[in-house]
Amino acid sequence: MGAKTALLAYADGDIRPALLGASRSERSETEALVRQVHPGYVVEAVDDGSLFQDVYPPDDITYATKLAGVELCCDRRLVLDRPSELPEHLRRAGAGRRIVMHGMHSVVDWLCFAVWEDGELVRSLSLSPDGGIQENIGEPYDFELPYWAGEHPVAPVPGWPSQGPYPLPFHPLDLGEEALRALFGFAIEGCPDPADVDTEAVHLHGFRVTDPTGAEQAAREAEYAEARRLMGPPRLFRMGPDGTMHEVSLDSL
């Protein structure tokens, strides 16, 4: 799986109808939205994109659109390990509306999604196999129930020895796709649904959005450096004659 998302939306109701047949938003209005989401930051125009390509932008890049019924931002900084900690200014921006967050990262099999209704957090879930369930607030939605009921267990990966049971009752990215379709009206992987939003047709304006003090960038680079340190050197595996994977050294290649 290669699915990654970083989405935050302010909506008057269901997002799907607002995205179906969406027209191109005004850049000036969309830039005002981005400045509201990132107050005090430097905002510069970059090339535009689409909901098909840009649901997980690079660092310091925001893709956004402002349409009738929904305002949508794609930005890594707007999805959180604990969605309940959404900053106050972002909650205020959605006063009287529905706020929907969706974040997914295939490298660590992490998923988060959350929904606020008129300022009240009604559902938040964040989990990964390594981190476990970091947040689970509110009643699960109907689309979640088969997953919690054990109807989508994770099968062992063929060839890998000494595999224990998967630490969660389902794969986060599988539920993540269900959540994405239920909350935003489209999915990234799996079989398309005729009712899905045509993400290639949803135009997004692009912006480079940076902290003028440089503090955010420095903190991010420090986090990346610490993650690289903790990862250690790469490990290499090769399938043996018995069909199982065995660790090998660089010298043996």
- Asked if residue 212 has pLDDT above 60, the reply is yes
**Cβ partners under 8 Å of residue 199, min gap 6:** 50, 51, 52, 55, 186
- Asked if residue 226 has pLDDT above 90, the reply is no
**What pLDDT shows up at residue 252?**
65
Query: How far from each other are the two terminal CA atoms of the chain, in whole angstroms?
Result: 27
* pTM for the whole structure: 0.91
**What pLDDT shows up at residue 250?**
65
**What pLDDT shows up at residue 209?**
98
**What pLDDT shows up at residue 251?**
65
**Cβ partners under 8 Å of residue 229, min gap 6:** none
Q: What is the pLDDT of residues 192-205, one digit of tens each?
A: 889 999 999 999 99
**What pLDDT shows up at residue 29?**
97
**What pLDDT shows up at residue 157?**
78
Q: Domain limits of the chain?
A: 4-252
Q: How confident is the model at residue 1 (pLDDT cuts 50, 70, 90)?
A: very low
Burial (Cβ within 10 Å: 0-12, 13-18, ≥19) of residue 238:
exposed
Percent of the chain with pLDDT over 70: 97
- Asked if residue 247 has pLDDT above 80, the reply is no
- Residue 113 token pair: 């999604």
